[in-house]
Amino acid sequence: MAVMRYSEALRLAMTEEMERDDSVFICGEEVGQYQGTYRVTEGMLSKFGPRRVVDTPISEIGIAGMATGAAMAGLRPIAEFMTWSFALEAMDALVNHAAKITYMSGGRISCPVVFRGPAGVGTQLSAQHSQSLESWFAHTPGFKVVLPSTPEDAKGLLKTAIRDPNPVIFMENAGIYGQRGEVPEDTDFMIPFGQAAVRTEGSDITLISYSNMVLKCLKAAEALEKDGIHCEVIDLRTLVPLDMDTVVKSIQKTHRAVVAHEEWKNVGFGAELASRIYEQAFDYMDAPIERVGGADVPMPYAKNLERAAIPTDLDIIAAVKRALA
């Protein structure tokens, strides 16, 4: 195991896969000479050259279209969006082409492309650059949707995404690029999709989340432990496919649940998750499911207003206490 930052784990995964497979390449705005806005692709241009680390024009629909076409032609592109908020410019290429081509070709054409980049809210990037959009893509058949919360998962899940024959939406929370953790150095280390992780075990209530919000759930669980409340924290890791077996098994033990995410609460992924829990585990529930999500407003720029719009560990603690009455 090596200790490295979340961003370094992503770079390691891409480097190992590019060394293993000549069909893998990176494309995106400033991924080469500038070495990535968040330095995720630092040093990769000098290592692999401009044919495999491709600086593109400032055109998200161009990036998505080129990557989709390259994947259809047999390559394995990793397309970086400078931020997932910019991917809205490319929704036609993503939703109507990348996600649907295998279905529309009757399975004759595969589309092994990874669309990745920073996501999440905060850091004073304001309304157009600070959005958590995972539900938009989880809603679209044809995509796999991945949101790692740790450096280890960042490496293992990205390697799985690059080798997957389907289009993968890979969202990296910008707020945790600097987070450090142990990462396996094994070049064959991979984490399967659809396999949630139980981060802490507990008996009183289940906290279910993904990406940066998992860290807030863990912080809340640590604080609640001092009050004698034992939380089980589940990190979904992938929204599509979704590991409901782990969630249901936990609720059969704890009988209560809080679902938490940074995106808007209204029609957020927590609503889908709560619905599935009611469908599959209603008889085990002793209290209504609590949802924690972002305020239903465009993200403010002012730091105090931004702070008020983003859910925190204190919001999770309050939700737990409501569920426990």
Instruction: Give 87's DSSP letter.
Output: G
291 and 218 in a single domain? The answer is yes
- Quote the CA–CA distance of 137 and 150 in Å, as a whole number: 21
- Residue in 16, 60, 80, 290 annotated catalytic: 60
> What pLDDT is stored for residue 135 in this prediction?
97
Q: Is residue 30 part of a domain?
A: yes
Same domain? For 51 and 175 the reply is: yes
Question: What CATH number is attached to the domain comprising 247?
Answer: 3.40.50.920
What's the DSSP call for residue 23?
A: T
What DSSP string runs through 91-150?
HIIIIIIITTHHHHTTTSS----EEEEEE-S-TT-HHHH----HHHHHTSTT-EEE---S
Shared domain for 223 and 138, answered yes or no, is no
Task: For residue 225, indicate whether it is catalytic.
Answer: no
Beta carbons within 10 angstroms of residue 23's beta carbon = 16
What pLDDT, in 10s, does the model give residues 226-253?
999 999 999 999 999 999 999 999 999 9
Contact 194, 169 (CB under 8 A): no
How many of the other CB atoms lie within 10 Å of CB of 252?
12
Q: Does the annotation count 97 as an active-site position?
A: no
Residue-range definition of the domain harbouring residue 202: 197-323
- pLDDT for 83-138, tens place per residue? 999 999 999 999 999 999 999 999 999 999 999 999 999 888 899 999 999 999 99
Residues 46 and 93 in one domain: yes
* Residues 177 and 205 reside in one and the same domain: no
Q: Tell me, yes or no, if the pTM score tops 0.75.
A: yes
What one-character-per-residue DSSP string does 221-255 give?
Answer: HHHHHTTT--EEEEE--EEES--HHHHHHHHHHH-
Whether 191 maps to a domain, the answer reads no
Which one of 16, 80, 97, 129 is the catalytic residue? 129
The answer to whether residue 302 scores a pLDDT higher than 90 is: yes
Note whether 215 and 67 are same-domain residues: no
For residues 63-91, give the mean pLDDT.
97
* Domains identified in the chain, total number: 2
Tokens of 242: 């979704």
